[in-house]
Amino acid sequence: MANETLTITDNRTGKVYELPIAHGTIHATDLRKIKVNDDDFGMMTYDPAFMNTASCKSTVTYIDGDKGILRYRGYPIEQLAEQSSYLEVTYLLLYGELPTAAQLQQWESEIKQHTYIHENVKKLMEGFRYDAHPMGMFISTVAALSTFYPEANKIFAPEVRQKQILRLIGKVPTIAAFSYRHIKGMPYVYPNNDLSFIQNFLNMMYSIGTPRYEVPAIFEKALNILFILHADHEQNCSTSAMRSVGSSHVDPYSATAAAAAALYGPLHGGANEAVLRMLDHIGTIDQVPAFIEKVKKGEGRLMGFGHRVYKNYDPRAKVIKKLADDVFKVTGVDPKLEIALELERIALSDEYFVKRKLYPNVDFYSGLIYKAMGFPTEFFPVLFAIPRTSGWITHWQEMILDEDQKIARPRQIYLGHDTRDYVDIAKRK
């Protein structure tokens, strides 16, 4: 490779600096050498929302936003969605390789040993109001797990870390299902470890009395694919929260609760919920053009459209759109699908969206599938959080084992007052 350096001339001083380039980046702290005088702190970059800053090296997930490519550990998302299972993908994310048949069997059985939650966790969940948002319950309950497993703060002990990883993957479906049963006023259903991971989750959600709840095959298939698609997405808002909070060396339950809180917002994992509310608000297909005009005037956003990284069709949205057809063949077509298709048709040909490279993202169609499967709208972000937990802990582990990492501590450009004297309250205007 030719000279892998960057030459910078500081026109304030005329000085020239040569900075090494590695992996297409310069080290931000190298800029600190650029100073006008000895008292100068040195040059920084200003990058609100981390639009162009790599905060870590990672070997987990690769995205090419312009080409619409997503791979976990090198495997294309389309192949994993078609051929793999969610638990196999969790293994792949955490260990970097696909498991052998024996490794997968052992992994599934280990996770199953951690599906139950302490009875006091159940009691804690019972304390929420009848109309509590399930994502609020999920966040708080995951945080509370740290009080049940205080040893979890020994984050540099590999066997302790491994135990919490198993617990987190195993317990989040139970917490999610209990939060659903709570808002429905239904008795909690305990895990049944004779069932598969996905069947068990659906059983905890929907089983009531007799006859025994039989998980529809298409629901198991759909949820398996949706969980795979949502398992990881490199340095998104919630994963960055996981890394940032985890960099203080707090236990993984507290860090996961922080990540889940980041996911809750309508610009991130709350978007699938917001899409359904938007479709409800639009109401009928003839209202779509008027709604699009409002969005173009800046009166609200077209939820489920646009992405910080993808400037092309989100590859996950492609898989989900096809999956929606399969699910609707069994459940019947939701009239909102017509509205969604019309929104997509108009948006993809409208100059406003084309110019800004706004395409459907993972959340545009996922909500319609969740709805067809009987999940209430406010539960959608929780359905995102269950699989994303595996991505969060994969990144958390990668971060704490990375010698380059330290406690996350961004800098600021201070633009406030210079020093001034305290004014007695009686003298203030």
* Residues known to be catalytic: 268, 307, 363
Residue 31 CA to residue 139 CA, distance in Å, equals 39
Point out the residue whose Cβ comes nearest to ligand CMC. 306
Within 209-248, the residues that bind ligand CMC by CB under 6 A are: 233, 236
Phi then psi for residue 118, to 5 deg, are -55, 145
Q: Which is nearer to ligand CMC, 170 or 391 (CB)?
A: 391
Give the residues across from 8 on adjacent strands: 17
Measured from the CB atom, the residue of 70 and 125 that comes closer to ligand CMC is: 70
> Among the candidate windows 25-33, 121-129, 202-210, 356-364, which touches ligand CMC by CB under 6 A?
356-364
Rounded CA separation 30/20 (Å): 9
Give yes or no for residue 306 binding ligand CMC (CB under 6 A). yes
User: What DSSP designation does 398 have?
Assistant: H
Smallest distance from the beta carbon of 309 to ligand CMC, in angstroms? Answer: 8
Partners of 62 in the β-ladder: 71
> CA 296 to CA 115: how far, in whole Å?
47
Asked if 311 touches ligand CMC (CB under 6 A), the answer is no
Instruction: Say if residues 26 and 20 touch (Cβ distance below 8 Å).
Output: yes
DSSP, residue by residue, 320-355: HHHHHHHHHHHH---HHHHHHHHHHHHHHHSHHHHH
As a whole number of Å, the CA-based R_g of the chain is: 24
Angle CA 242–245–251, to nearest 5: 90
Q: Does 282 bind ligand CMC (CB under 6 A)?
A: no
Whole-number minimum distance, CB 236 to ligand CMC, in Å? 5
Residue among 358, 382, 383, 393 that touches ligand CMC (CB under 6 A): 358
Does the footprint of ligand CMC cover residue 295 (CB under 6 A)? Answer: yes
In the complex, least distance from residue 349 CB atom to ligand CMC, rounded to whole angstroms:
15
Interacting residue with ligand CMC among 92, 271, 288, 327 (CB under 6 A): 271
Burial classification of residue 257, based on how many CB atoms lie within 10 Å of its CB (0-12 exposed, 13-18 middle, 19 or more buried): buried
Residue 281 as a binder of ligand CMC (CB under 6 A): the answer is: no
Compute how many residues bind ligand CMC; rule: CB under 6 A.
20
Residues binding ligand CMC (CB under 6 A): 233, 236, 267-269, 271, 295, 301-308, 356, 358, 361-363
